Amino acid sequence: MKTFKNALVILAGGTGKRFKNKMPKQFNEINGENLIDFFLNRIDTNIFDLILIVTKKSNIKHTKHLLTKFPLLKFIYAEAGKNRQLSSLNALKKLKRYNPKNVLIHDSARPFCSQKLIAKILKSLNKNISAIPYILSPDKKVISKKEFNKKIKLIQTPQGFNYNAIFKAHVSTKLFNAKDDSELLSEKELNFIKGEKLNIKITYPEDLNFFKLFLKPIFKSGIGYDIHRIDIKTKKGLKLCGVNINFNKLIGHSDADVGIHAICDSIFGALSMNDIGYYFSNTNPKWKNKNSEHFLKFARDKLKENNFFIANLDINFICEKPNISKYRKEMISNLSSLLKIPKKIISIKATSNEKIGFIGDGLGIAAESIVQITNEKLY
Ligand code: ZN
Rounded CA-CA distance 83/85 in Å is 6
Contacts of 261 by beta carbon, 8 Å cutoff, 6+ apart = 224, 226, 276, 292, 295, 367
| Per-residue pLDDT at 153 | 80
Residues in the chain: 379
| Per-residue pLDDT at 105 | 98
Rounded CA-CA distance 360/379 in Å is 39
| Per-residue pLDDT at 274 | 97
Q: How confident is the model over 256-260, as a mean pLDDT?
A: 98
Span between the terminal Cα atoms of the chain, in Å: 58
Q: CA dist 277 to 32, 80, 209, 265, 366, Å?
A: 31, 54, 41, 9, 16
**For residue 293, which amino acid is it?**
E
Determine the distance separating the centroid of ligand 1 and the alpha carbon of 193, expressed in angstroms. Answer: 64
Condensed to tens digits (0 to 9), the pLDDT of residues 93-142 reads 999 999 999 999 999 999 999 999 999 999 999 999 999 999 988 776 65
- Give 335 or 354, the one with higher predicted confidence: 335
| Per-residue pLDDT at 96 | 95
Determine the distance separating the centroid of ligand 1 and the alpha carbon of 342, expressed in angstroms. Answer: 25
Determine the distance separating the centroid of ligand 1 and the alpha carbon of 222, expressed in angstroms. Answer: 17
Q: Which residues surround ligand 1, an ion (CB under 5 A)?
A: 226, 261
Q: How confident is the model over 69-82, as a mean pLDDT?
A: 91
| Per-residue pLDDT at 114 | 95
Q: How confident is the model over 323-342, as a mean pLDDT?
A: 97
Taking the domain 6-213, which CATH number applies?
A: 3.90.550.10
Taking the domain 219-374, which CATH number applies?
A: 3.30.1330.50
Conformational region of residue 242, where left means phi above 0, alpha means psi within -120 to 50, and beta covers everything else: left
Asked if residue 232 lies in contact with residue 251, where contact means CB atoms within 8 angstroms, the answer is no
Condensed to tens digits (0 to 9), the pLDDT of residues 7-18 reads 999 999 877 666
Rounded CA-CA distance 266/223 in Å is 4
Determine the distance separating the centroid of ligand 1 and the alpha carbon of 350, expressed in angstroms. Answer: 17
Burial of 1 (0-12, 13-18, 19+ CB in 10 A): exposed
Rounded CA-CA distance 245/95 in Å is 75
Determine the distance separating the centroid of ligand 1 and the alpha carbon of 121, expressed in angstroms. Answer: 60
Domains of the chain, residue spans? 6-213, 219-374
| Per-residue pLDDT at 151 | 65
Determine the distance separating the centroid of ligand 1 and the alpha carbon of 282, expressed in angstroms. Answer: 9
| Per-residue pLDDT at 350 | 96
Determine the distance separating the centroid of ligand 1 and the alpha carbon of 184, expressed in angstroms. Answer: 72
